Amino acid sequence: MEKSYVQNRTRAHRMKRKRRRLLFIIIICIVLIIIKLFDIFSSKPQPVKTIEYAEKIESVSTDKLNNESKGSESSLQNVSGVEDAAFVEKYLNQQMQGQRPEGIDGKKVVYLSFDDGPSVTVTPKILDILKKENVKATFFVVGKAVEENEVTKKITKRLIKEGHAIGNHTYSHDYSYLYPNQTVNASIFMNDIEKTNQILKQVLGQDFSTRVIRFPGGHMTWQRNDPDGMEVLDKAFHDKDYHQIDWNVLPKDAEGAPKNAEQLISEFMRSMGNREKAVVLMHDTYGKEETAKALPGIISYLKKQGYEFKTIK
């Protein structure tokens, strides 16, 4: 009887040891499976990033095809440096009205822009500097300047070839004609815009178009002088998906007494301040050689401050 009791007890101990060993093996297996799964998921690319990358490539490819269909020879790198004109228009309007622009995001961006060209004397110098610095800009051209001669037409083609954006700055740039008696004539203004559009199509191809407009004297100026006339013109712009672009930084190369390059850089830095999004107004028409001389210093300052250069389309 005692022997049977001892045998049963020994058998029970063995069973307990076996269960412990089995439980230990199961726990080890579970731990190994968890480690393996962790390795698999941690090394697998995140689906969201994959989708974002695919969307980015698709966007770039689409823009490239659109540019090629319009005769543009811009590089893919420049595609990423393009800002929507609607965004810039809204940002500036809100800022000028004393509001906090919705587009504030902590990213420093600068949009270099040049008005009143092209000219055979200054525009090529500016283009040479921009090419050397690998910077793109937006040129608000005047229709009559574009069609002035074969050289200005070639310069206009060069703007597109080198990846710059073109905006419409009217055909005449004549204040007395566009703003008779200091009022806004929507019909006259739109006709002047469309005249430049047709000239640009003749020079750059029928597929070329631009949504970007700049008012001689600035939109905000005429908004104050003739709000009713501007309301009519703004509606006409909206119907055609045109976007007017003013500015919030300028070196004053067309204001006050003539300035040398050093003075222009000083004025630019004073106007620039600590702006997050800066639309810089400069000129590339005749007599603006000092602007071209100041441009390398302006670009150098912006690069040191960490600004990204973008065009407006």
Cis ω before 216 (30° cut-off from 0)? no
Q: Which helix (H) or strand (E) holds 275?
A: none
CA–CA dist 92, 98 (Å, integer) = 10
Q: Which helix (H) or strand (E) holds 212?
A: strand 212-213
Selecting among 115, 116, 226, 253, the annotated active-site residue is: 115
Q: At 142, give phi and psi (nearest 5°).
A: -100, 130
The predicted model gives 266-276 an average pLDDT of 97
| pLDDT at residue 36 in the model | 54
| pLDDT at residue 60 in the model | 37
CA–CA distances in Å: residue 189 to residues 73, 139, 141, 200, 215 = 31, 19, 15, 17, 9
In our burial notation (b when 16+ CB lie closer than 10 A, e otherwise), range 62-101 reads ebeeebeeeebebeeebbebbbebeebbebbbebeeeeeb
The predicted model gives 7-14 an average pLDDT of 58
| pLDDT at residue 283 in the model | 98
How many CA atoms within 13 Å lie on the side-chain side of 51? 3
- Give per-residue pLDDT as tens, 165-180: 999 999 999 999 999 9
| Confidence check: pLDDT of 137 > 50 | yes
Residues 6+ positions from 244 with CB-CB distance below 8 Å: 89, 213, 214, 215, 219, 234, 237
Helices (H), 44-149: 47-69, 76-79, 85-96, 123-133, 143-146
The predicted model gives 208-215 an average pLDDT of 98
Selecting among 192, 243, 283, 284, the annotated active-site residue is: 283
| pLDDT at residue 101 in the model | 96
Angle between helices 289-304 and 261-272 (to 10 degrees): 40
Which residues make beta-bridge pairs with 243? Answer: 212
Greatest pairwise CA separation for the chain in angstroms: 127
| Confidence check: pLDDT of 299 > 70 | yes
| pLDDT at residue 15 in the model | 66
| pLDDT at residue 130 in the model | 98
For domain 81-312, the CATH architecture is Alpha-Beta Barrel (3.20)
| Confidence check: pLDDT of 20 > 90 | no
| Confidence check: pLDDT of 251 > 80 | yes
Q: How many CB atoms lie within 10 A of CB 43?
A: 7
The predicted model gives 290-296 an average pLDDT of 98
Q: Quick check: is 283 catalytic?
A: yes
What sign does the dihedral 32-37-40-45 (CA atoms) show?
negative
| pLDDT at residue 64 in the model | 39
Q: State percent of the chain over pLDDT 90.
A: 72
| pLDDT at residue 225 in the model | 87
Tell me if the pTM is above 0.85: no
| pLDDT at residue 37 in the model | 54
Domain chopping of the chain, boundaries: 2-44, 81-312
- Give per-residue pLDDT as tens, 43-84: 333 333 322 333 333 333 334 334 433 433 333 333 479 999
CA–CA distances in Å: residue 120 to residues 77, 117, 126, 151, 180 = 28, 9, 11, 7, 30
Least Cα distance to 289 among 260, 265, 269 occurs for 260
